[in-house]
Amino acid sequence: MAHKLVRCWLIFSLFWLLFAGWHRHDLPSHQVIQPRLWQEPKQEEIDQAAFQKTVGGIRYTIEPLYRYELYGLVVSQHDATSWRDYLHQAWQDKLNIRDLCVLWGDNVRSDIYQQLKFWSGQFTCNFSTRSNDVFRNFKQTGMSNNHILASDAHLTQILSQIRLGDQVYIKGYLAKYSHQHGFNFSRGTSTVRTDTGNGACETIYVTDISILQANPVVWPFVFNVSIGSFILAMMMWFSLPFRIKQ
């Protein structure tokens, strides 16, 4: 009897693990997108002196170029502190802790983003679709990959809590930054939304960031629960006594 119960538990857990894993990157319906995300980012040129911040024992010089505000839907992200990100480690870049790929404007007024696939690389945000009509109607000027610079512990904590499908508010400066920790390192920023390719990402030194609305899709939670359930069921299965039939 115990073997049958654990076997059913294993099958049940595996089913939900696979099903939730397939859907765990689902984005929320456009009907729950806040109207604030319909607007374009706000950019204002400023005359502000460079300042310095120390992160991870490295002193960075930040050169603000524009004051910047953005409301957006997170469709992909990259953790620049991950062990897999070898370039940030090689460059001693501890200030850029996360990249957020976001949409706004007409791209979130409708469900067009539901018909695309998004993914991030170390410095890129990519999208694809099998529909030519969707590709033509999707506005690349309503999408940006943002290199987020943060030196404040509170803002860093908020960044770590952002998940796919979250609606976020970002405020700060489009900025250049550099350091001389063993070698001369510097990175710039895009200052328009119409460019593509190398150098088209916005580099934002954040002064405020918040999650306006978390993704209501439950599949990431179900996926994590299913992993735990499946592992526990496997442990129970191998702990049961087995009798070899003669």
Clarify whether residues 55 and 20 are in a common domain. no
Q: Are residues 77 and 147 in the same domain?
A: yes
Task: Report residue 196 as tokens.
Answer: 């593509």
Confidence at residue 69, expressed as pLDDT on a 0 to 100 scale? 97
Same domain, 107 and 182: yes
- Please give the backbone phi and psi of residue 54, each rounded to the nearest 5 degrees, phi first: -110, 125
Q: What per-residue confidence (pLDDT) applies to 85?
A: 81
Domain count, the chain: 2
Among 71, 128, 129, 137, smallest CA distance to 100 is for 71
Per-residue pLDDT of the chain in tens (246 residues, 90 and over written 9) = 666 777 777 776 776 567 656 656 679 999 999 999 999 999 999 999 999 999 999 999 999 999 999 999 999 999 988 877 888 888 889 999 999 999 999 999 999 999 999 999 888 999 999 999 999 999 999 999 999 999 999 999 999 999 999 999 999 999 999 999 989 999 999 999 989 888 899 999 999 999 999 987 665 666 676 677 778 877 876 777 765 555
Residue 214 to residue 174: CA distance in whole angstroms: 25
89 & 175 share domain:
yes
d(CA 174, CA 170): 11
The answer to whether residues 207 and 234 belong to one domain is: no
Co-location of 82 and 192 in the same domain: yes
Separation of CA 223 from chain center: 18
Instruction: Transcribe 18-30 into DSSP letters.
Output: HHHHHHTTPPPPG
In this structure, are 10 and 42 located in the same domain?
no
Query: Both 192 and 228 in a single domain?
Result: no
Question: Cα separation of 191 and 173, whole Å?
Answer: 11
What is the model's pLDDT at position 15? 67
Q: Are residues 223 and 207 in the same domain?
A: no
Q: b/e for 88-127, b at 16 or more Cβ within 10 A?
A: beeebbbbbbbbbbbbbbebbeeebbeebebebeebbbeb
Half-sphere exposure of 16 (CA within 13 A, CB side): 19
At residue 219, the pLDDT reads 56
Take residue 55 and report the two structure tokens written for it: 């992160």
Do 158 and 243 sit in the same domain of this protein?
no
Our separate counts of H helices and E strands in the chain read 6, 10
> What is the residue range of 8's domain?
1-26+217-246
How many CB atoms neighbour CB 240 within 10 A?
11
pTM of the prediction? 0.83
Q: Are residues 53 and 136 both part of a single domain? A: yes
Same domain? 81 vs 128: yes
Distance CA 13, CA 19 (A): 10
DSSP 41: P
pLDDT digits (tens, 9 = 90+) for 166-223: 999 999 999 999 999 989 999 999 999 989 888 899 999 999 999 999 987 665 666 6
